[in-house]
A = this chain, B = another copy of it.
């Protein structure tokens, strides 16, 4: 699964750490999502979508059989 987190975050001009605080997760979690080390939980995906005022589907790109 790919995502637009880094792009969206930079558009807003905020640091990983600031986004992490807003989402109530660690900075490392945001970094790991941006760099594709793992996928978010659905709860974190919802929070990110709400934060960026977009749908989950617009931020996270699901490709069949991607892990």
Contact = CB atoms under 8 A, between A and B. Distances in A.
Interface residues of A, number: 17
A40 interface: yes
Interface in A30-48: 39-43, 45-46
A56 interface: yes
Contacts of A57: 49, 55-56
Interface of A: 1, 39-43, 45-46, 49-50, 55-57, 60, 62, 66-67
Given A39-B41, A41-B42, A55-B56, 20 more contacts: A1-B42, A1-B46, A39-B42, A39-B43, A40-B42, A41-B41, A42-B42, A42-B45, A42-B56, A42-B60, A43-B62, A43-B66, A43-B67, A45-B45, A45-B56, A49-B57, A55-B55, A55-B57, A56-B56, A56-B57
